[in-house]
């Protein structure tokens, strides 16, 4: 995991877009982002995932393979993932293979780019504007954790500007 301010250049979304300004774990926590590094063996990692699910009452999980050949309707999905949106539930992702970028909005509404790689578990809070892209290797395999009834429907900007989960998120990070 590595995070930094996005450079806002017009280059391919899959490039690093590293502005050179690092964003610390502390700053990420200030945005409501949680992060765990799971670098044990498969059994140890699964045990850690089980524990997290118990703590948060998560009942279900699945695995998604994102690559041009593995994901049905790849082009369409990639566009949806990279369109700025919120969810009314947190988004927990554990990277099993490959890599990708989650971009999240900071307190000044700038993009913070978070590189996630194998072994990284990221919790994106409900209500935060974000988006996702693969990197130039074009492959990620991730476990998605969800409650019984996940509210994962993306709500795009600006439709979510007045959404109660978005407003609650802004208040929780001290912006409102």
Binding site for ligand KMT (CB under 6 A): 64, 66, 81, 91, 93, 100, 132, 140, 142, 144
Closest by CA to 113, choosing from 104, 122, 123, 124, is 104
Cα gap 171→93, rounded to integer Å: 24
Q: How far is the CB of 144 from ligand KMT (least distance, A)?
A: 6
Cα gap 35→5, rounded to integer Å: 17
Q: How far is the CB of 44 from ligand KMT (least distance, A)?
A: 21
Judge whether 40 and 48 are in contact, CB under 8 Å.
Answer: yes
Nearer to ligand KMT, 21 or 105 (CB): 105
Nearer to ligand KMT, 153 or 171 (CB): 153
Q: How far is the CB of 100 from ligand KMT (least distance, A)?
A: 5
Judge whether 5 and 112 are in contact, CB under 8 Å.
Answer: yes
Nearer to ligand KMT, 58 or 132 (CB): 132
């Amino acid at each position: 995991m590595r995070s930094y301010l996005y450079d806002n250049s017009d280059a391919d979304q899959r490039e690093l877009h590293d502005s050179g300004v690092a964003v610390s774990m502390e700053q990420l926590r200030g945005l409501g982002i949680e992060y765990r590094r799971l670098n044990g063996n498969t059994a140890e990692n699964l045990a850690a995932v089980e524990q997290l699910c118990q703590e948060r009452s998560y009942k279900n999980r699945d695995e998604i393979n994102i690559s041009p050949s593995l994901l049905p309707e790849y082009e369409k999905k990639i566009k949806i993932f990279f369109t700025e949106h919120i969810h009314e539930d947190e988004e927990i992702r554990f990277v099993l293979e490959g890599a990708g970028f989650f971009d999240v909005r900071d307190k000044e509404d700038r993009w913070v780019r978070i590189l996630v790689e194998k072994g990284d578990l990221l919790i994106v809070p409900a209500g935060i504007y974000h988006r996702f892209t693969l990197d130039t290797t074009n492959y990620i395999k991730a476990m998605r954790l969800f409650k019984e009834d996940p509210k994962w429907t993306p709500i795009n900007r600006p439709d979510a500007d007045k959404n109660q989960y978005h407003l609650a998120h802004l208040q929780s990070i001290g912006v409102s």
